[in-house]
Structure 1
Amino acid sequence: MDTGDVIAKAVLDNFNTWERKRKPLDRSAQKDGKSHEKERPREWVPLSGIVAQKNDKITCIASATGMKCLSRDKVPKAQGIVVHDWHAEILAIRSLNRFLLEECLDLAMSRKAFSEYVRFRGPEERTKTHFQPFALQDDISLHMYCSEAPCGDASMEITIAAQEDSTPWQEPSPLPKTNTDMPALHGRGYFSALGAVRRKPSRPDAPPTLSKSCSDKISAKQATSLLSSIASLLISPQNCYIQSLTLPEPQYSQVACTRAFSSSGRLAPLDGRNWGDGYSFKPFTIHTTSREFIHSRRQPLGPREVLVPSNIASLWTPRTSETIIGGTQQGRKQFSIKGASSVCKRRTWLLAVSIADALCSSSPAILRSLKVDRYAEVKSGDLLRKRKEVKNNVRDTLKGWQRNDDAEEWACSGVEA
């Protein structure tokens, strides 16, 4: 079996074990007495997953569905409680971070040397600048699967080909500007501007957002690793990079993926970069698969059935599962503390504080960096200086990256980790 098929199978088989309530609704079966006269909706949603490979064993350790994000005008209300971006790819990455931190907490509490996925780093491995107490197990590699081409640059050729008229749209004059010399492109507009950073969502009539496309965020992960800022305070980024990305054959454009992700495309200035302290530019390989997700846009439809997007997002790890609507746990009011997702910024911060507390005096600098009043202070701390350098280099390379960090002046309170 091809590598891409093996990786896809691991994620798809995992999805099949999910509870029914966490999956897209099959509304095509609903009847109202006149169903024979009506179009019958069938929901679709992207699925993404991250698998761990150890020797010949491949295991799904994080997966998610979802396709929406928080509009820019609502970001100040989020306060670290509401997830900003719940596209499947991003939710899967956030779920991976949650899972790895929970593994770290178990080790910190038990004082065991290692778990199946995470281990303590020895004193000889840790330096003043490469200080993290934990690392992913050395014999594990991480791989990602996406049921749809990531939104943004990696999907542009596929999007263009799907139009009735594939002639590139003319760019308006003047173009919208960011603080760089490139435009901040909205979703899938301006087809002629290939290689550009794009914002979610793709619909031109949707409320604006500063959330970058999945193509752009995955591109950046080739330099920063899959770890979030919080997780990178505790786990070495050195081998937390994805080794490969698997896409269904109809969703793979070699031209688009080479341009979006490879060292011969728009990331060429980063080729060979090694920032030290576990950070380097590690481009991934791309595999394709003939396997299809049952809830993809390419699912076969019956008579009068029409595809409609699912409004729910779900996440899974070996430790947790959760359904999200509007960035909040299903059944809870948006922006309610009780609705805080397990992968939201506030609960992730609290989890990291719990780990640092459990480490007692062995990592005082990490504890000081985490035990501050506001989330913005964590992000601006000295221990994240190297990561910020890497991110800035990525932003300078991916022209048009407009920052979305204007709502981080909130405190770590009111929720449990």
Structure 2
Amino acid sequence: SADGSANRMVGVVQDITKRKVAEGSLRQSEETARRQLVEIEAIYATAPIGLCVLDTEFRFVRINDFLAEINGVQAADHIGRAVRDVLPELGEVQEGFFREVVQTGKPILNQEVHGTIPSQPDKERDWLTSYYPLRSGDDQLLGINVTVQEITEQKLAEQALQERAQELMQLNTVLAQTTALLQERNRDLDQFAYVVSHDLKAPLRAIANLSVWIEEDLMDQIPEENQKQLQLMRSRVYRMEALINGLLQYSRIGRIDTKIETVNVKELLDEIIDSLAPPSTFTIEIGENMPVLTTRRLLLNQVFSNLISNAIKHHDRSDGRVRISVADHGRFLEFAVSDDGAGIEPRYHTKIFTIFQTLKARDEQENTGVGLSIVKKIVETEGGTISVESQLGEGTIFRFTWLKQPKPVISTN
């Protein structure tokens, strides 16, 4: 109106829905970006590996404390500086990787880097590094993401392991050579023993045969005393031959493998007793639960034969009693051969297992003194033990253990 008062009002309405939606989206994007930034900061702060970002001129843009500690330089002292300026030796090594990532736009993974850092120039170290291209939203290359993991201790462990492996290889070579040499020496020893045995036995047999011929041809002309001397000479010859056989047997124990087979111990003992042919007045008992096992039959036979034969031969009566028993101890068996004979004084318990040692003079009883030493060597070679329990006048018990699974033996054949 003329006086300036409003006669009417015109209203304008503008739709700002899209703007509000856009502002909401922007706030949400900003919130997401802030959250992602916090997450990235947390990752950088807590990651157990070294992380850094380089620009395309290979200068540090950001670095986490873990990598700064690896480098021996404060994190702030990295920013804006080229890698080769902060780490001269390592920068020169790594720039080849940086250039390749910039030129190809492709990552380079798991590259081992070896060198030193300025803060510890005398300590050689190793790192496992990877390099990833960092791109903008429009796929422009902004820089390089680098991950670094120190593997110095791992490399030292690998090196030590390789050195030990090399030492083991050398040791195995020496062991193989030594084994071959021992096998050759054992073969030589076997051959020598055979030759010596043959050369010793031949004249012994000749002496025994000659004494028989003299006795047969001159029986009526030889005084009774001289006949006894001829018989004594033959018994000494036979004992010498038995001694030679015992020595050969003793020398071969543990050096020459024997056949492993399934053995019924009850049947084995029956065979041994039949072959020993004890006096009819003797009683030999075989305990119950004798096992069936896989073992070296010949060696177990030798052990039982010697122990049972000794129990019979050294008994002080013609009506003695011998008993064989067994106890199961899981991984091994314990056999016992006991008798009710004269017994052995405790002071001789060790002596009887020594080769050539006898408790009676050889003039009183034919004995080579080898039997129990053979038994002991067989039992111990097979991984067992042997002991004696005895008192004078109270009989004797020999106990020996025997593995259920036989030990391997290096054969010299």
Give the TM-score normalised by the residue count of structure 1: 0.22
Higher strand share: 2
Larger Rg: 1 or 2?
Answer: 2
Taking structure 2 as the reference length, the TM-score comes to: 0.22
Q: Larger helix proportion, structure 1 or 2?
A: 2
Higher RCO (C-alpha under 8 Å, 6+ residues apart): 1
